[in-house]
């Protein structure tokens, strides 16, 4: 049984959010004004699904179930509804609200959600994308340890300014890091909470190293594992940039079912007019994030991507 006692107002993902579910990871708004972009609701009524496993996708509507936790629905890019099940836990539910649900909602709004981490360097944003286990959050953490600031971890919202400059919207000041990554940086994992069903992955606050304003996107780095022992960086071109954007769109497998494949291609085309893309190949057996940061920064300066 749930009891809705109050509502919370937040600023994240470039949106004003009114939520019945507390989201302490996000920045609270003291004076939101009259406009709310997104409502997050708790429902006592069960949400009907067309299929038990995977996603139910209709026009402007997506729903999915996390067994024994909750059923989540996302509607019209404006509303996320959480229907608790028997083992409902707020902390676990927040992972799905701020991850999958928000990624789907951004797509419904026709905002590109990239899957990765974004770092602010000299007034511009650089996205680090890659498959699960590639080391993107670890690399982003190495940048943070060097004094740079996090803009987003996990879901990276890419919008356009009035003059059509691609912009990264800040999400919230937290990273998700594996225990081995914490060990690499000499951080005691016992100070942090393990993520749901991932006992060796932790939520790590970075409030003092967070860039909380929208910032122009200047580069996208795809991090991949290779057979060599050194870090290799190359600039990609042509269709490869489209591949990177498509492959690393958060929940990109839903684009076809949402009727957004053409939109995604046009949106990507506009991003690639001004944003350079790169592939960073790291060693599969020996990832050296600090050395990687130095080499990446040097390469970007040589290519006039970083001032």
Domains and CATH numbers, the chain: 8-108 (no CATH), 112-302 (3.40.50.300)
Query: Which tokens go with 196?
Result: 């749901």
Residue 224, pLDDT score: 94
Q: Residue 34 to residues 16, 30, 220: CA-CA distances in angstroms? A: 10, 12, 35
Q: What is the pLDDT of residues 184-238, one digit of tens each?
A: 788 887 788 787 655 688 888 899 999 999 999 999 999 999 887 788 899 998 8
8-12, 161-165, 276-280, 284-288: segment of lowest average pLDDT: 284-288
* pLDDT at residue 12 is higher than 50: yes
CA–CA gap between residue 109 and residue 89 (Å, rounded): 28
H or E, element range at 69: none
- Reduced to 3 states (helix: H, G, I; strand: E, B; else coil), residue 76 is coil
Alpha-helical (H) ranges within the chain are 90-96, 102-108, 136-145, 179-184, 239-247, 261-272, 289-302
**Nearest to residue 124, comparing CAs of 36, 44, 221?**
221
* pLDDT at residue 95 is higher than 60: yes
Residues 6+ apart with CB under 8 A from 139: 117, 128, 223, 289, 292, 293
* pLDDT at residue 183 is higher than 50: yes
Q: Which residues of 169-200 are buried (b: 16+ CB within 10 A; e: fewer)?
A: bbbbbbbbbbbebbebeebebeebeebbeeee
CA–CA gap between residue 173 and residue 119 (Å, rounded): 12
Instruction: Please give the model's pTM, rounded to 2 decimal places.
Output: 0.91
CA–CA gap between residue 303 and residue 40 (Å, rounded): 43
Degrees to nearest 5, angle at CA 98 with 165 and 193: 125
Give mean pLDDT, residues 48-73.
Answer: 90
Query: Which tokens go with 29?
Result: 């708004």
Cα dihedral 224, 237, 256, 81 sign: positive
42-46, 178-182, 222-226: segment of lowest average pLDDT: 178-182
Query: pLDDT confidence of 1, banded at 50, 70, 90?
Result: very low
CB atoms within 10 A of CB 206: 16
* Beta-strand relationship, 215-226 and 124-130: parallel
Query: Strands, E, within 142-196: which ranges?
Result: 149-160, 166-168, 174-178, 193-195
- Reduced to 3 states (helix: H, G, I; strand: E, B; else coil), residue 35 is coil
* pLDDT at residue 34 is higher than 70: no
Give mean pLDDT, residues 83-106.
Answer: 95
Q: What's the mean pLDDT when you consider all of the chain?
A: 90
CA–CA gap between residue 302 and residue 307 (Å, rounded): 9
Q: What is the pLDDT of residues 96-135, one digit of tens each?
A: 999 999 999 999 999 999 999 999 999 999 999 999 888 8
Alpha-helical (H) ranges within 72-115 are 90-96, 102-108
Residue count of the chain: 307
CA–CA gap between residue 266 and residue 257 (Å, rounded): 17
């Amino acid at each position: 049984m749930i009891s809705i006692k109050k509502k919370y107002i937040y600023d994240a993902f470039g949106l004003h959010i009114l939520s019945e579910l507390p989201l302490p990871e996000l920045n609270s708004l003291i004076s939101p004004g009259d406009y709310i972009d997104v409502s997050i609701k708790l429902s006592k009524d069960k949400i009907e699904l067309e299929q038990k496993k995977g996603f139910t996708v209709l026009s402007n509507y997506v729903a999915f179930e996390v067994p024994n936790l909750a059923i989540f629905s996302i509607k019209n890019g404006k509303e996320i509804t959480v229907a608790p099940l028997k083992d409902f836990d707020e902390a676990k539910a927040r992972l799905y609200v701020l991850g999958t649900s928000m990624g789907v909602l951004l797509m419904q709004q026709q905002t590109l959600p990239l899957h990765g981490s974004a770092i602010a360097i000299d007034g511009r944003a650089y996205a680090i994308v890659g498959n699960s286990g590639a080391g993107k959050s670890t690399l982003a953490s190495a940048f943070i340890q060097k004094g740079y600031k996090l803009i987003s971890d996990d879901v990276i919202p890419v919008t356009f300014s009035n003059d059509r400059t691609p912009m990264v919207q800040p999400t919230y000041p937290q990273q998700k890091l594996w225990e081995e990554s914490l060990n690499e940086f000499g951080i005691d994992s016992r100070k942090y909470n393990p993520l749901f069903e991932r006992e060796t992955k932790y939520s790590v606050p970075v409030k003092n190293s967070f860039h909380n304003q929208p910032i122009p996107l200047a580069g996208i780095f795809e991090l991949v594992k290779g057979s060599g022992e050194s870090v290799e960086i190359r600039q990609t071109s042509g269709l490869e940039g489209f591949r990177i954007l498509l492959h690393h769109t958060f929940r990109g497998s839903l684009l076809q079912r949402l009727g957004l494949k053409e939109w995604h291609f046009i949106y990507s085309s506009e991003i690639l007019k001004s944003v350079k893309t790169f592939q960073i190949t790291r060693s599969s057996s020996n990832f050296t994030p600090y050395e990687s940061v130095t080499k990446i920064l040097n390469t970007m300066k040589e290519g006039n991507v970083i001032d």
